[in-house]
Amino acid sequence: MAELATIARPYAEALFRVAKAGSLSAWSDLVSEMAQAAAHPDVKAIAQNPALTDAQIASTFASVLKTPLSVEAQNFISALVANGRLTLLPEIATQFHTLKNAQEGAADADITSAFELSDAQLKDVVATLEKKFGRKLTPTVKVDNALIGGVRVVVGDEVFDTSVRAKLQQLHVALAA
């Protein structure tokens, strides 16, 4: 996957430079939408169809998006299609969001909980985590009953695991040693 990341990086950086000149949050939403659309199997099939011209692929892709594309976004899509890189949009979006977070001094937090979190519980967890990690966090919450209890949080390359499953695994390792 490192190869995909290497190929996607210049596109993400170029898109980020354009987005900084405009509305970064609007571009962020658009990039997320484009990545989601590009990951769809039907869109991948269209992007790799040799019978279609680049203009047909670009216009078809633009038509599946809910958000109307600006001239800059249309040019970006055209460049991706011309270089056969439309299917890289999910990786481009990941790198774009990493650049956006770095600009804003924020980070994405993947929170996995053993149970559904209420809004108040999520706010408390995020507030505690923001103090721990020293930056603003954008949470993504998933539920995994296998955790038994507690939460598992991944922020960048840092993992904070307070789940019952993790504690049981630590206990197993301690007893087995």
Q: What is the pLDDT along the chain (177 residues), one digit of tens a residue?
A: 568 989 999 999 999 999 999 899 999 999 999 999 999 999 999 999 999 999 999 999 999 999 999 999 999 999 999 999 999 999 999 999 999 998 998 999 999 999 999 999 999 999 999 998 889 999 999 999 989 888 999 998 899 898 998 998 999 999 997
Cα(87)–Cα(175) distance, integer angstroms: 48
Predicted TM-score of the model (pTM): 0.75
**What sign does the dihedral 63-65-71-75 (CA atoms) show?**
negative
